[in-house]
Structure 1
Amino acid sequence: MDGANIERRQHIVDVAIRILNEGGVDALNMRHLAAELHLRPMAVYYYVPNKSALLTMVLGEVVQRVVWSRYSGPPRERLLSQSVDLYDKLSDIPWISDVLHEGTSVGIPSLSQAENFLSACYDLGFDDDEAFGLWRTTWFVISSELQWNGEARVRRGDHMPAPEFTDAVMDAHPSAARVFGQWESLSEGYSVVPYLAALIDGAIANARTTVPATTRKAIRAQAGRKVSGSAEVASA
């Protein structure tokens, strides 16, 4: 793509970001975008094939503009600091949950973020599977929490309401009843941070075993087959 096309594509992304900031994801469609750009819709499609691709470009641009913190200290602290920073900074984007709900491809928010996270994993002795797995799972937790919070704001403006069941159903599920009965207070006191820490600490503990990396990989593969087999039995 030549310089002129790159500049035009960047302008499209900038206008899309403005539309999102003003009206959210529902306000952004290709026809509206074309009108704001003073172009015909087909001209926009030349640069951006569809809304999903546009949202991916927009989120990538927004993430590049974020001023991320500097992560220092031991690898474990760097991983946790980066995870919390990623969650906090993305939470500041008002339309982030809607974009994630649309299924936008944001598995790697930025190359520098991936580099920082993965280098800390390697400093802890992770193999490639473990480093990738922790990065992917950490992002899944953050992404899910952002979507949960967004849905809660839409429904009530604060926390997601507790699921509603009859007393008979709850009596048959005492552990669930115990939690659901405290839903409001538990939601008020909830923070994703200690559970991100638990995820990271568990991965570190697994990687620090005396079992060689090749053996750990074989164990993970075997565990995956067992889980798959159990799921098939349960669904039968």
Structure 2
Amino acid sequence: METRTGRPPRLSRAQIAATARELIETHGVQALTMRRLATELGATPMAVYHHVRNKDELLLLVLDEAAAGMQRPELPGEPGERLVIASRAMHDTLARVPWIVEVLTSDDLFSPAALWYPETIIEAAMAGGLGLDEAVHAYRKIWYYTVGEILVHASAARRRTANAGKTFRERIFDDVDAAQFPRLAEVGERWAELTAMDTYEAGLRALVAGLLPTR
């Protein structure tokens, strides 16, 4: 076997971003450190610092790489439907990489490449009859709903993966006191199935209908 000599191959920003993203997706955002990333790359921390100055810049690099594959669907003319389509695209893009939501909600980091979503949603809200300030508030309400839905489903998926059998919550719903909680007892073991369903768009449409003024 030939032994390689000389300097190791130079790192690229694309290689750093890909390895950082793999670390995050496998072990979580908190596991990403410059030292651990360097170890995964087979390099020294100083070699990584040559490309990114700190963890925030590293996360921004990863966010930009992820945002490059975001959805930009064709948009209808009707403002309410435009709001729904753009918001659904935002949801579906983030749901594929839920760790991004954790980054976006825990710090002030944001990829400029993703500005298409708030711009499109705010513009559609204004076309639907809202002023600029109201449209921004409408976007924030949609954002909170979207983020909450993604985080809850991602957390539930992790619990299902971690538990070989039923989760604690599922066991509770299997044996709810029917005299005290008749509706929950009626749902019973179907609770996990019902709460795992994708009802995002139905909720989104109800939210949009409530946000836009009636004409």
Superposition TM-score, scaled by structure 1 size: 0.64
Matched, 1:58 2:66: no
Correspondence for 1:117:
121
Aligned 1:220-231 pairs, distance under 5 A = none
**Alignment CA distance shift 1:171-1:31 (3 Å):** farther
The equivalent residue for 2:102 is: 101
Distance in 1 between the 2:44 and 2:151 partners? Answer: 33
Give 2:201's aligned residue. 193
Match of 1:151 in 2: 155
Once the 2 structures are TM-superposed, how far is the Cα of residue 29 of structure 1 from its aligned partner? 2.4
Tell me whether 34-43 or 121-130 shows the greater mean CA deviation.
Answer: 34-43
Question: Is 1:202 aligned to 2:180, yes or no?
Answer: no
Percent identity over paired residues: 23
How many matched pairs? Answer: 195
Aligned partner (choices 13, 38, 47) of residue 52 of structure 2: 47
Q: Does 1:29 align with 2:27?
A: no
Whether the 8 Å contact between 2:34 and 2:48 is mirrored in structure 1 is no
Q: For structure 1, list consecutive stretches of 5 or more residues without a partner in the other structure.
A: 1-6, 210-236
- Structure 1 equivalent of residue 20 of structure 2: 16
User: Aligned residue for 2:4?
Assistant: none
Structure with greater proportional helix content: 1
Give the secondary-structure state (helix, strand or coil) at the position aligned to 1:47: coil
Name the Cα RMSD after superposition.
3.7
- Residue deviations 1:143-185, cap 9 Å, x none? 12111121122111499854837756x7445555555664134
Counterparts in 2 of 1:161-176, with a 5 A limit? Answer: 161-162=169-170, 164=172, 167=176, 171-174=179-182
Residues in 1 aligned to 2:124 and 2:152: alpha-carbon distance in whole angstroms? 28
- Give the letter for the 1:195 counterpart: G
The residue type equivalent to 1:39 in the other structure is T
- Could you tell me which amino acid in structure 1 is paired with residue 20 of structure 2? A
Query: What is the CA-CA distance between 1:67 and the residue it aligns to?
Result: 3.9
Cα 1:175/1:130, change in 2 over 3 Å:
farther
User: Given the two structures, how large is their TM-score scaled by the length of structure 2?
Assistant: 0.70
